[in-house]
Chains A and B, each alone.
Chain A
Amino acid sequence: MSTDNVTFTSAESSDSYAGSYDTTEGRVYSVSGGDWDTISGAPEGEQDRIVVNMGPQHPSTHGVLRLILEIDGETVTEARAGIGYLHTGIEKNMEFRSWVQGVTFVTRMDYLTPMFNETAYCLAIEKALDVTDQIPERASVIRVMMMELNRISSHLVALATGGMELGALTAMEFGFRERELVLDIFEMVSGLRMNSAYVRPGGVAQDLPADGEQKIRDTIPLLRKRLKDTADLLVDNAIWMGRTVDVGYLDLAGCMALGITGPVLRATGLPHDLRKTQPYCGYENYEFDVITKTSADVYGRFLIRIEEMEQSLRIVEQALDKLVPGPVMIEDKKIAWPAQLSIGSDGQGNSPEHIKEIMSESMEALIHHFKLVTEGFRVPAGQIYSAVESPKGELGCHIVSSGGTRPYRVHFRDPSFTNLQSVAVMSEGSMISDVIAAVASIDPVMGGVDR
C-alpha cells in the first residue's frame, strides 16, 4: 500500500478522543480526554472506590515497597503492603556455601545493618559449635563497638530518609553526612563501607589497624556534636512535630500481637531491649540506658532513635576503654580462618607473610589452609536460634545444621519484615501523608524484608 493512497475515513476523523482536521500546513490531530463516566465502565455504586498503588518504585517507600491504599478523598480507608520485589534467595543460596561464606550473604540482607546480620549469624554458629565462651574478649569488644557504630549509621539513615520523605531535606543532608563518618570507620577497619563481611565465625576478620583506635576516639566528639545539630534541627521543630506527633499510633497491645520490636515497641513505654534482657557479646558489662517514650507515635520513635545514638556513643567509648591487646580470632585452629588480610598492589588480599608460609615454607599449613577454605568446618547437627537487638528490633537467626560443612537451613527473622505488618493498623483512617510518616517511623529496609 503506497502512502499517497492513505485517506482518513470519516469514522477516524470523527473519533471523539482523537479528532483531526485539515489546515494549509497539513492534517492536525488533537487528542482530548473524555468523561470518565462514559469510558470507565465502573460498576454501579463503586464510582468512589479509588485504589492507589504507591510504589514499588516511589521515593517515599524506602526502596521497593508497594503500598496498596484504598482512599476516600485524602483519607486512607485500607492499607496493604506488598513486598517481595527485592527477594534475592539469600537463604537458599547459603545452603550451597560453607558456613563462613554465609557471612558475605547475610551482610547483604539488611544492607544498613551489616554488622548486626553478621553477628547474629556468627553467634548462632558459635553456639552450635559450642564455642561461645572461647571467643576472645577483644573480638567481642570489637563486635560491640562495630555494632553500636552501625546502630548510629542505621538510625541516621532512618532520620535522613524519614526527614526527606516529610520534606526536611536538611535533615537528610545532615544524616547522610554524619553517616559518612561512621562508614569511614567501617572502611578503615574492614576495608569496606558496606557489606563488609567483617564479623566471622570465631571472631572478626581482622584486628583494628594500628591507628584505628585513635581514629575512632577522634571521631566521637565530632559525631556527638553533629548528632546534636541534627537533633536541634528537628526535636522542637514545629513543622516536624506537626507531621509526626500523634501520627502512626500503635500501642503496646498492638505491638505484642503483631510481634513488633525495636524503637516502635519502646515508643509504647516497654523497656524491652535484648542487650539488657538477654545479653550477648558481653553487653552486660556496658553501662547504657534503654530509651523509652510513652507517646507510641512517630515523634516518639524519632526521639528514641535520637537518644539511642547518644547511648551508642557511650557504649563505643566504653568499648574503646575495654580494648586490650589480644587475639581477635578463636584459638581453635579447626575453626579459625587461617589467613590475615593486607593491601597489596592489586588490592585487598591475603597477607604476604601468610602466602609465603603456605606457598614456600609449610606444606601442612597449605593443606590446612586449603581444607579450611574450600571444605570448611563441620557444625554438629541441631538447630539454634540466636537473636540480637538490631536498630530495627529483634533480629533472629535460626540455623539448622545436618552436621555438614554447609548450613542445612538458615532463616532470618528480620525485624523490618515483621514490623512492616503494622503499616495497616498505623495508617488506616489517617491521611495519605501520614502513611509516609508511619512507614518512615518503622524504618523498613527492603533488603532485609525480602532477603
Chain B
Amino acid sequence: MSDPSVPVVPQGVEELDIIGVRNGAFGAVDGGDTSGFGGLVDPIVLPAPAQRPFGGWFDEVSDELELALQAHGLPVTEAIEKVVIHRDEITYHVRREHLVAFTTLLRDEPGLRFEMCLGVNGVHYPGEEGRELHAVYHFLSITHNRRVRVEVSMPDGDAVIPSIVAVYPTCDWHERETWDFFGIVFEGHPALTRIMMPDDWPGHPQRKDYPLGGIPVEFNGGTIPPPDQRRSYN
C-alpha cells in the first residue's frame, strides 16, 4: 500500500485538467463497437497550464498584472489560479473572489488598458468536480492591440460570482444571458433577469444536463429521431 503522506503526483508536475472520459473508438453508447477499440479509455484533457516564460507579449502583460496585483495587496498566486496558453491565446484563471479587482486592473492600468470587454460566456463541465461551471470573459486592448481571456470557475452547488457590470457596463446583457443559459448568479448585477428565455422558464438551457428536446421527423417513409437521440460519434 502506498504511504498517504507521500503525494501521488510528484513535485513540479501539473495536475491534468480532465473534464471527462471517452470510451471506445467512436464514443458510441448504443450498439456494439466492432472496431476492435471498444475497450479504449481516453481521458479528455484540456490544455495544461503554462510556465514562465510565456513568450511574446504574454510575459509583459503578466508582469504588469503581477505588479499591479501586488500594489493592491493581492498576492499573485491568490488571485490567479493558473495561466493557460493555447494556440497563441492566453487565459488567466482567476479566483472568483478577486474577479472585480482583477478586471478593474485590466481596465485601468496604463500598461494593460483593456478598454473593451467582449462579454461573458458560460461553459458547463459536469465532469469537472467542484468546478463544474466556468464563466469566460474576453478582453480587447485597443491601445496595445492585445486580447486576453479570463476564466472563472465555480462549483455547481454554489454558482455565484461577482458581477463586473460596474467595471464594464457592457456586461449587463452578457451576464443576464449567462444567468439565463447556465444559472450562474452574478452578485451585484443591477437587474439579473432572464433575457432570451421567457421569464417563467424552468431550467437553464445551455447546461449539459438540460436536454436538447425535439420530436422524431417522418420523411419519405422513414423516421429520423431528434438530434440528441441519433447515433453519435463523439
Q: Which residues of A contact B (CB under 8 A)?
A: 83-84, 87, 89, 91-93, 95-97, 127-128, 130, 256-261, 270, 272, 277-278, 374-376, 381-385, 387, 394, 396, 398, 400, 402-406, 408-409, 411, 413, 417-418, 420-421, 450
Contact = CB atoms under 8 A, between A and B. Distances in A.
B142 A408 contact: no
Contacts of B197: 84, 87
B234 A91 contact: no
A133 to B, nearest CB: 12
Contacts of B87: 127-128, 130, 382, 384
Contact of B172 (A272, A385, A406, A421): A421
A84 B232 contact: no
B47 A382 contact: yes
Contacts of B123: 383, 400, 408-409
A58 to B, nearest CB: 20
B149 interface: yes
A83 B195 contact: yes
- Does more than half of chain A's interface fall in helix, strand or loop, or is it mixed? mixed
Contacts of B138: 385, 396, 398, 413
A421 B170 contact: yes
Interface centre among B118, B149, B168, B177 (most CB of A within 10 A): B118
B44 A259 contact: no
B153 interface: no
B212 interface: yes
Interface centre among B19, B140, B195, B198 (most CB of A within 10 A): B140
Nearest to A415: B118
Contacts, number: 121
A77 to B, nearest CB: 18
Contacts of B232: 96, 406
A310 B232 CA distance: 47
Contacts of B20: 402
B108 to A, nearest CB: 13
Interface of B: 19-20, 22, 26-27, 44-47, 86-87, 89, 91, 115-119, 121, 123-124, 136, 138, 140, 142, 145, 147, 149, 168-170, 172-174, 177, 194-198, 205-206, 212, 227-228, 232-234
B27 to A, nearest CB: 7
A405 B20 CA distance: 15
Contact of B22 (A127, A404, A450): A404
Given A83-B196, A92-B205, A382-B46, 8 more contacts: A256-B115, A374-B233, A398-B136, A402-B20, A403-B45, A404-B27, A413-B121, A417-B177
B227 A96 contact: yes
Given A259-B170, A384-B89, A421-B172, A96 B212 contact: yes
B118 A259 contact: yes
19 contacts: A84-B194, A84-B195, A87-B196, A89-B212, A92-B206, A95-B212, A96-B227, A128-B87, A257-B170, A258-B169, A270-B142, A278-B147, A383-B123, A398-B138, A400-B123, A403-B45, A409-B121, A411-B121, A421-B173
Contacts of B119: 259, 396, 413, 418
B196 A396 contact: no
A89 B26 contact: no
Contacts of A259: 116-119, 168, 170
Contacts of A417: 173, 177
Contacts of A261: 116
A403 B117 CA distance: 28
B223 to A, nearest CB: 18
A38 to B, nearest CB: 33
Contact of A385 (B44, B45, B89, B169): B89
Contacts of A256: 115-116
Contact of A381 (B47, B117, B194): B47
B149 A385 contact: yes
A384 B225 CA distance: 31
Given A83-B195, A383-B91, A402 B19 contact: yes
Contacts of A83: 195-196
Nearest to B127: A402
Contacts of B22: 403-404
